[in-house]
Structure 1
Amino acid sequence: MRSFEQRIKRSFLFIAFGLSWSMVALLLARPDLPPQYFLFFACLAPAVSAVIVHESTTNHSLAHSLFLTAKPTPAWVLSLFIPFVFFGLYIISFPNEFGVFHQWWFYLFFITAFLEIGWRGFFQKELEVPSFWLSSITIGVLMACWATPILVVFFGLSDFHLLAFAFFFLLIAAPSTFLISLTKSLFPSTILNGFLLYLLTLLFTHSDMLVVFFALLLMLNGITMLAHAVFPHYFTHAFIAKRK
């Protein structure tokens, strides 16, 4: 059984990394082609990998396994309240930019959904790591490693911006895990990550505000630490359920 579980993990990582990074390689080989199509398939890879591995290894409901069937609860409000606090500080700091529309916000939410389905909806549960923090940080590190070539090739980000994204993936990991554990749904985590990822892209032109952004993320991790200490069973019930 352990060997079978290890093959599931390796298969997911092979497909997720392989498909995404192959899109990066193809764009490097053919820079004359439209990059948005390669970017779409690169970001779709974790979700595709989750579906392929799940459907080939179990007959359980795909939607249920990926936390996609839970009904809304009052806890879903957290996925809107937390970004509201972050955006509130941003608007207070830069009132002239309030209401400015950026076309990429729509794409970011789709990208976030693909990532959440693959990494936290499927792979984190398959990890079955009993430690809340180790499980969360592992996913954060893997997401940062997976995203780095994509960010470099498709967006040409500087080292500073790459570091900002890496810190974001690490610092949002535990709050996202706890939110999924609390709600048994990927939707609140997707909303939270989508809004904060969008805000992060806006703050690249305001390096001083980036410090505040990450300070708030650290504070959010502190709150998550307290919440998990009080309600540790949420994580256990959501992510450590043994395969039948």
Structure 2
Amino acid sequence: MLRQKFQVAGFMLLGLSGMIFLLIRQPQTTTPIAVKDTAKISQPQPPAKTPIVAKKTVPTNPPQSPAKTPIVAKKTVPTNPPQSLKPYGKQKPPASKKSSVKRPSQVIDPKSLSKGTHLVIKLGDRRVYVYKNKKLKISYPIGIGKAGWETPTGNYKVMDMQPHPIWEEPWTGKVILEGPDNPLGARWIGFWTDGRNSIGFHGTPAEKLVGQAVSHGCIRMRNRDVVALYEQVKLGTPVTVKP
């Protein structure tokens, strides 16, 4: 009986040990570990792109541009310049040294003068007076009409201007071109006409006669003086002729 009890106890002990062994051998439940993408973790991140800005490099010693020298055209004078066929050409003859600002023998009323340039001829003074804005600027000696061909008095205006006049002799019709022998000289400034004949200022080759009553009514002047006068007047300039 006792032997049976020991057998039962042994079986029970054996069964208990087997259960303990099973418990020990039973695998423990584990929580699955999520596999991380190690490739993404370990992959190096590319550096942020910085925009490339082109920098203007300035050389340490930049080449200096040569200073610009103004080019001045020089007028070359030929060794043997051709002679001009015109006695005065485009050059202005020098002003007469005998021209002056001599005042008229009788006072001229400024109120009778026009604004701008106004020429006043005093036949008794044998001079022409140039007024500008009613003020006397200069005067020139003149030759006037001889007896029977007196220069007419009155108020006129410049109506004709010729730089190198051509003269036609009224009696023979002979034409004399410009030049040192032309009776009209270097310039013509006409201020009176009757439709056929004309009277005006002009130069003369016989400058020694300037100051005398020797013309056919015209106002004779030295060539240099008539050239200077020509530059001061224009068509329409008033001309007053007084005794």
TM-score by length of 1: 0.21
Bigger-Rg structure (1/2): 2
Higher relative contact order (CA 8 A, sep 6+): 1
Q: Which has the higher helix share?
A: 1
TM-score by length of 2: 0.21
